[in-house]
Structure 1
Amino acid sequence: MLTLQGSASRFCDGRSRRSFLKIGGLSFGIGGLSLADLYRAEAASEKPKSHKSIINIFLAGGPPHQDMWDIKTDAPSEIRGEFRPINTNVDGIQICEVFPQLAGLMDKAAIIRSVVGCHGGHEAYQCFTGWDKNSLKNVGGRPSIGAAVSKLFGPVDPSVPPFVGLAAKTRHVPWSDPGHAGFLGAAYTPFKPDGPGMANMTLNGITLERLADRRRLLTKLDTLRRDTDITGAMDGMDAFGQRALDVLTSSRLVDALDLSKEDPKWVERYGDGKPYQFQYDGAPTCNEQLLIARRLIEVGVRVVSLSFGRWDSHSQNFDLVRDHGGKLDQCLSALIEDLDQRGMLDDVTIAVWGEFGRTPQINGNAGRDHWTNVSSAFLAGGGLRTGQVIGSTDRMGGEALERPVHMQDIVATLYHSLGIDTHTVTIPDPTGRPQYLVEHDPIAELI
């Protein structure tokens, strides 16, 4: 909640200057202005212009690459596991049998089987930034893709935040990280819808005219010297206030989060991912979040991040993959088809990956343990050259054999899909030093 220092003088409506910004229960990032009781304004008549965007789907826990995109039929039984490969609609490409719907869309996707450079942390940080979490830690850390894009491009629509994190809360907190702002400061944290929250998004008794008056007042209240604030926190607080008031005067974001306004056929097509199984301390399999992601992109969001499932399969690996994999097959194939039918697929890049892979050897609990040597990633859309597999692993699925692809290569490719040249674009850190977004190149085979 934003707190303003000074006297609590009163407005003519009896409300104090100090409390007029305390509206609502929808969080706008750390320390941001919250919105309880958001006014449902009429939706703007025009849709935002087409824009490039990213949906970054984090498979928290380390998904087993050899039971998903890199089936090892020639390996011994203690390595290859229970699954069989199935053909896709691209000759020569096979994937796990639990993904029959995605198999029919392989021409619109690409699989990277030789992902390297995993640091081994049980967290989303590397998938959302490309960097180790200790990089530039002394100045706040590296910004996530969403934060960097917000800084570089700003919003498509002032009433719609450019970066939204849908990650559900998890007991292992790093798995619900939607992507930090890093050294960019609080102004570039993601917008995080606060649970169901729709019922709270009304603003009883406050008119749009009064909000306009208070927007003008907001520009006069803060007389602090921001040039002495090296953390950027005060600028962030201003940004939160501005963002909140923008959202208050539009229903576009509210409507995008409300699936009751979606075609029931598409709601059914995506599914809800229930019953939630194997969740433990991780994220649920919220299929509907992929549908919400499409709706958010449609109204102007540039980057959506989310965490799907809990893939830390030290035991019951094959049961977990049947459950999580089947649900992912349903909602991810729906997302690709949905974007394609709407003519949006070439403008939206979908990344599906985790923090590392799993061991080739199956342990005594029918599980696979952590394996940082190699993992896989699934990409779709974005105008990429799809219908191909990049890289390979050895017979056991334990090492990259051909064309190792660094995790930063994937992040660089995501930036490239937005039109950002990672060779030239920099963002200054708090010391004024220009920082490149990544140090690796986009994947040449895809662009």
Structure 2
Amino acid sequence: MLSFFPDRSLNRRAFLTVGSLGGLSLPQLLAAQALAKGREKPITTGKSVIFLLQHGGPSQFETLDPKLDVPDGIRTVGGVTQTAVPGIHLGATLPRLARQADKLAIVRSYQSGSNAHSTRPIIGEASLKANMGSLYSRLAGTNDRESGMPLNVTLYPNSVEPQALGADERFGKFTQTGPFGKSYEPFVPGGGSELQKNLRLALSPERLDNRKALLFALDRLKSKVDSSGTLEGIDKFRLQAFEMVLQGVAKAFDLSQEDPQTLARYDTSAFVNETAYAHKTNGKVKRRWYQNNAQTLGKLLLLARRLCEAGCGFVTITTRFVWDMHGDQNNLGMQQGMAAVGRPFDHAVSAFIEDCQARGLGDDILLVSTGEMGRTPRINKNGGRDHWGGLTPLLVYGGGIRGGQVVGQSTRDGSKPLTAPCNSRNLLGTLMAQLFDIGELRIKQGLPTDLVRYVSSATPIQFD
């Protein structure tokens, strides 16, 4: 991973080690890579994946697969909105995404395989009980060769707002690595680590931690390097190592470096409402789950875009447990729940799409958004929908996948696929096919054979 030593160690020989392997420092690795450049084809495509987990289980009826010509107890709550693509409708709280439908691929035949809360599908049987990003980094490496950026990152609300909540780990950690070991854990910026408390950067080869401490220490270190003239006389690979860390990594994690207009475009804090949801446990002051989601979702997607531009290959985003719309004492029902959760989702994702289109990133970044399950066809007595494993909404943008298409079809009551279903293994295959040149991956020497076979044999979802 990426290592920095305390200030007293700042010298030519022992400044930092990034991507340490077999005792080689980053500059040594870069030199070796420069010699090897052009001798073998890369196994990666250069594309990135952002996985936005709608934790709690989004309703297919009020999002991507609305139903109107059905009995009252099933019909989509709140109505629908016509999209930019004739014949395709979305739920009424997604008007901005509806205008972007020509850039979306909607899957209406996806089954997550469970009706229980979990970390699926980002972590589950299909991913060998590891974060999907850990499968990627086990094969691609832990850091980008050019920028030093960690290739596998997981973002929580406190990654962009220090006072916001961290991970909801009641159903499992989002940093699980399954059989691959802790060195392939996602990097998680933010949180209350010791590094954040003492504002000191001393990172082990196994892990990076804490965005705030990272930025503080990098700025302090850069100032020290510039004033001492340490950079003078070092070879070009050591200079590149300094530049990777002091410019690339620090700037990517720092949202203050972003254009203010872009930051404002992503901002979802206008959807925070401190009183409207206070009658539910998840909206009360002790939890503020709906508020945390609305406060941070847009900035999380912006940070994810910045990381991908800097070389990160896989970013997981999860806010709080807000898509669980039972209408009970803890959770909002469908009508109010979609106002609280659907509207900031609509704003954040559409801003991300507009930004990527403007930057020419539509082929380079794949955004996937789904949850661990869907919701019941029948609305319960409280105006909510309960757990349902028969069908889960799945939204895809970018990665060169043609927009304006719907894959699959559900039954009239929205309970299961009417056409051939796809599952989490197919989803894994889709992501891995985006990230890897499968042909090169299969013949690459030195990689774990079983994992290569598992990843390369997963059949992707069949988009047009």
Rate the CA distance shift 1:53–1:205 in 2: closer, same or farther, 3 A. closer
Given that 1:116 and 1:405 are in contact with CA atoms closer than 8 Å, whether structure 2 keeps it comes out as: yes
1:313 aligns to 2:325 (yes or no): yes
Partner of 1:293: 304
Q: Select 2:83's aligned residue among 63, 84, 88.
A: 88
Normalized against structure 2, the TM-score is what? 0.70
Partner of 2:234: none
Shift of 1:129: 4.5
Shift of 1:119: 2.6
Given that 1:144 and 1:179 are in contact with CA atoms closer than 8 Å, whether structure 2 keeps it comes out as: yes
Partner of 2:102: 107
Q: Which amino acid aligns with 2:303?
A: I
Q: How is 1:4-403 mapped onto 2 (pairs within 5 angstroms)?
A: 51-124=46-119, 126-129=120-123, 131=125, 141-154=128-141, 155-168=144-157, 169=165, 172-174=168-170, 177-195=173-191, 197-198=211-212, 201-203=215-217, 207=224, 249-273=245-269, 274-275=271-272, 278=282, 280=287, 284-285=293-294, 286=296, 287-309=298-320, 310-315=322-327, 316-403=333-420
Given that 1:359 and 1:370 are in contact with CA atoms closer than 8 Å, whether structure 2 keeps it comes out as: yes
CA distance in 1, matches of 2:221, 2:440: 51
Rate the CA distance shift 1:99–1:346 in 2: closer, same or farther, 3 A. same
Shift of 1:90: 1.2
Root mean square deviation of aligned Cα: 3.9
Q: Which amino acid aligns with 1:291?
A: L
SS in 2 for 1:380: strand
Bigger shift: 303-312 or 428-437? 428-437
Bigger shift: 56-65 or 101-110? 101-110
Shift of 1:144: 2.6
SS in 1 for 2:367: strand
Bigger shift: 436-445 or 67-76? 436-445
Partner of 1:443: 461
**Cα deviations by residue, 1:380-433 (Å, 9 ceiling, x for unpaired):** 000012211111212211121123121221221111122343997499999975
Alignment gaps of 5+ in structure 1: 1-10, 22-27, 29-48, 134-140, 214-244
CA distance in 2, matches of 1:59, 1:312: 9
CA distance in 2, matches of 1:193, 1:100: 32
CA distance in 2, matches of 1:91, 1:71: 15
Shift of 1:115: 1.0
Shift of 1:291: 0.6
Partner of 1:236: none
SS in 2 for 1:291: helix
SS in 2 for 1:361: coil
Bigger shift: 297-306 or 186-195? 186-195
Partner of 2:423: 406
Shift of 1:200: 6.2
- Bigger helix share: 2
SS in 1 for 2:109: strand
Q: Which amino acid aligns with 1:437?
A: V
Given that 1:55 and 1:305 are in contact with CA atoms closer than 8 Å, whether structure 2 keeps it comes out as: yes
Given that 1:60 and 1:175 are in contact with CA atoms closer than 8 Å, whether structure 2 keeps it comes out as: no
Shift of 1:110: 0.6
Partner of 1:6: none
Shift of 1:143: 3.4
Normalized against structure 1, the TM-score is what? 0.72
Given that 2:214 and 2:250 are in contact with CA atoms closer than 8 Å, whether structure 1 keeps it comes out as: no
Rate the CA distance shift 1:400–1:423 in 2: closer, same or farther, 3 A. farther
Given that 2:50 and 2:367 are in contact with CA atoms closer than 8 Å, whether structure 1 keeps it comes out as: yes
Given that 1:184 and 1:429 are in contact with CA atoms closer than 8 Å, whether structure 2 keeps it comes out as: no
Partner of 2:434: 417
CA distance in 2, matches of 1:422, 1:149: 16
Bigger shift: 436-445 or 197-206? 197-206
SS in 1 for 2:150: coil
Given that 2:131 and 2:176 are in contact with CA atoms closer than 8 Å, whether structure 1 keeps it comes out as: yes
SS in 2 for 1:51: coil
Q: Which amino acid aligns with 2:272?
A: P
Shift of 1:70: 0.8
Partner of 1:33: none
Rate the CA distance shift 1:321–1:90 in 2: closer, same or farther, 3 A. same
CA distance in 2, matches of 1:432, 1:348: 27
SS in 2 for 1:66: coil
Q: Which amino acid aligns with 2:255?
A: L
CA distance in 1, matches of 2:246, 2:118: 34
SS in 2 for 1:373: coil
Shift of 1:252: 2.0
Given that 1:158 and 1:246 are in contact with CA atoms closer than 8 Å, whether structure 2 keeps it comes out as: no
CA distance in 2, matches of 1:167, 1:438: 30
CA distance in 2, matches of 1:164, 1:405: 26
CA distance in 2, matches of 1:173, 1:320: 22
Given that 2:74 and 2:377 are in contact with CA atoms closer than 8 Å, whether structure 1 keeps it comes out as: yes
